[in-house]
Amino acid sequence: MIVNASGGAIGTMDKMAAHRSGTLHRAFSVFIFNSKGQLLLQQRALDKYHSGGLWTNTCCSHPRLGESTSDAAHRRLQEEMGINCELTELFQFSYRHEFENGLIENEYDHVFMGISDELPLPNPDEVGDFRYIDTDLLLFELLEQPNKYTPWFKICLEQVLEMYYKVV
């Protein structure tokens, strides 16, 4: 779904066409915490179209035509990580990043959060690995090794953590 700067739908375009042209489009990111307050990270599969092998939030993707962003977030959480749980939309933000392979992320990203102790069953086509991490250690790793993480994750993590600590 192509969107304007306020996130309003203005048209449709194939996901890869949007990534090749750098057209602003709708996306979502899901952050799942366990009952210990650890964040579930995934390492993107090595053969993903961009950011392969990088660590990021629990899952992310794009809604299908006619699919609500909330429904898409639930669907992809199940497809990528094998988890079903309640999700709450926290906020939206826009970002743009150009990758070395010529693809461009120009996304209006809806950020969701959930809490679950369900054991992930990751889809190997999407996920190379996963881990739970204490947020203090994660923030330290981001300072020490920022190139191991996706661009969008580094942009929105601080705001996610602020909102998480207000909720729990």
The active-site residue out of 60, 80, 105, 156 is 60
The active-site residue out of 59, 105, 107, 156 is 107
User: Does residue 111 sit in helix, strand or coil?
Assistant: strand
Handedness of CA 160, 162, 167, 168 (dihedral sign): positive
Please answer whether residues 82 and 121 qualify as being in contact, where contact means their C-beta atoms are separated by less than 8 angstroms: yes
Q: What's the farthest any 2 CA atoms get from each other in the chain?
A: 42
Helix, strand, coil shares, percent, the chain, to 5: 30, 35, 35
- DSSP code of 149? B
Q: Is 158 a catalytic residue?
A: no
Q: Any alpha helices (H) in 22-66, and if so which ranges?
A: none
Q: Is 107 a catalytic residue?
A: yes
User: Does residue 25 sit in helix, strand or coil?
Assistant: strand
Q: Which position has the token pair 């749980």?
A: 85
Q: Which residues are catalytic?
A: 60, 107
